[in-house]
């Protein structure tokens, strides 16, 4: 603790407008404006904000999927310039390979890591079970419901056990029941295998239940408007949901998010 490098992800003065390239601000809509955000090493961080404020853009930038135009993003491995094996993302539209089965999809990242075939299969199968898709190993994405595809995508990402896990509304297509189970599982996985998580959601209670720290983004062009420590402690379970602090935080954060959503609906600032 306290070391200069004791951060998971450091975002400094990042602006982003689509239509530009590396080191050059684009000419289209400004999505992010001078965004600063420090995420601690192995912190579970939730990101909230109105639709279109730049949450996905920020995740893509951290993932290295789109080039940083202005400002800088670094991890413990140094500045982010491209995708890397230390960072994995669950995309908002889950992006499975349609020509691969569930098992092949989940095995993919493990094979790329260079693990022996038998080990890839074992780890993949364990994660398929974890997301409750046991029995669907040989199914293709097109044969699954949206929620099942999303769970397969989550299994694929968790299986590679990255140091930085980026999740873009990963539970958005799940029914309430499955969603609750997945939230508890994710929190458990994170406790067992510590990692820095950035979790984008529109669900305030999901953010409070999962995160140690929550950022609320402004209406577009996005920047971090508020940061709140949940202070709920490491254990999260059914009883968390009735915890007084959980309920109060939910209301407080809901008000802050709503404020930004109202600004967004007025066309930003």
Residues of this chain that bind ligand ATP (CB under 6 A): 18, 28-29, 31, 49, 51-57, 92, 220
Residues touching Mg ion, count (CB under 5 A): 2
Nearer to ligand ATP, 7 or 18 (CB): 18
Q: Is 240 in the site for Mg ion (CB under 5 A)?
A: no
Nearer to ligand ATP, 92 or 178 (CB): 92
Nearer to Mg ion, 46 or 128 (CB): 46
CA-to-CA dists, residue 226 to 19, 30, 69, 175, angstroms: 28, 20, 24, 29
Residue from 16, 46, 50, 56 in contact with Mg ion (CB under 5 A):
56
Query: Least distance to Mg ion from the beta carbon of 55, Å?
Result: 5
Distance CA 260, CA 93 (A): 24
Give phi and psi for 75, each to the nearest 5: -120, -175
Structure tokens at 91: 């995309």
Q: Please choose which of ligand ATP, Mg ion, none residue 172 contacts, taking the beta carbon within 5 to 8 angstroms, the exact cut-off set by kind.
A: none
Distance CA 90, CA 112 (A): 17
Query: Least distance to Mg ion from the beta carbon of 58, Å?
Result: 9
Answer whether 35's CB lies under 8 Å from 225's CB: no
- Pairing mode of beta strands 78-79, 213-217: unpaired
Distance CA 209, CA 61 (A): 26
Kindly state the DSSP code that residue 240 receives in the 8-state scheme: G
Nearer to Mg ion, 53 or 124 (CB): 53
Q: Please choose which of Mg ion, ligand ATP, none residue 45 contacts, taking the beta carbon within 5 to 8 angstroms, the exact cut-off set by kind.
A: none
Q: Please choose which of Mg ion, ligand ATP, none residue 138 contacts, taking the beta carbon within 5 to 8 angstroms, the exact cut-off set by kind.
A: none
Nearer to ligand ATP, 37 or 130 (CB): 37
Nearer to ligand ATP, 160 or 214 (CB): 214
Q: Is 215 in the site for Mg ion (CB under 5 A)?
A: no
Beta strands in the chain (DSSP E): 7-17, 30-40, 44-48, 70-75, 78-79, 87-90, 164-168, 196-200, 213-217, 224-229
Task: Evaluate the omega torsion of the peptide bond into residue 121 and state whether it is cis, within 30 degrees of 0.
Answer: no
Query: Least distance to Mg ion from the beta carbon of 61, Å?
Result: 13
Tell me how long the chain is.
269
Q: Is 101 in the site for Mg ion (CB under 5 A)?
A: no
Query: Least distance to Mg ion from the beta carbon of 79, Å?
Result: 24
Answer whether 98's CB lies under 8 Å from 141's CB: yes
Residue facing Mg ion at closest CB distance: 56
Answer whether 223's CB lies under 8 Å from 217's CB: yes
| Site for Mg ion, rule CB under 5 A | 56, 92
């Amino acid at each position: 603790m306290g070391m200069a490098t004791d951060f998971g992800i450091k975002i400094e003065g990042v602006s982003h407008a689509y239509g530009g390239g590396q080191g050059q601000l684009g000419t289209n809509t400004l999505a992010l404006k001078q965004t600063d955000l420090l995420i601690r090493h192995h912190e579970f961080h939730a990101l909230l904000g109105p639709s279109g404020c730049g949450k996905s853009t920020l995740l893509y930038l951290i993932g290295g999927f789109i080039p940083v135009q202005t400002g800088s993003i670094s991890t413990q491995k140094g500045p982010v310039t491209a995708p890397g094996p230390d960072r994995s993302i669950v995309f908002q539209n889950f992006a499975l390979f349609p020509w691969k089965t569930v098992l092949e999809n989940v095995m993919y990242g493990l094979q790329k890591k260079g693990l022996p075939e038998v080990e890839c299969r074992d780890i993949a199968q364990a994660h398929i079970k974890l997301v409750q898709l046991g029995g669907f190993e040989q199914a293709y994405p097109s044969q699954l419901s949206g929620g099942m595809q999303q769970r397969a995508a989550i299994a694929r990402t968790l299986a590679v056990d990255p140091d930085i896990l980026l999740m873009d509304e990963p539970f958005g297509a799940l029914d309430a029941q499955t969603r609750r189970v997945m939230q508890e599982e994710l929190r458990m996985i994170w406790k067992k295998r510590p990692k820095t998580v950035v979790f984008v959601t529109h669900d305030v209670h999901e953010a409070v239940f999962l995160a140690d720290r929550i950022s609320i983004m402004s209406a577009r062009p996005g920047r971090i408007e508020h940061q709140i420590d949940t202070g709920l402690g490491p254990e999260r379970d059914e009883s968390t949901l009735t915890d007084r602090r959980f309920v109060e935080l939910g209301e407080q954060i809901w008000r802050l998010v709503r404020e930004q959503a109202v600004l967004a609906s007025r066309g930003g600032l």
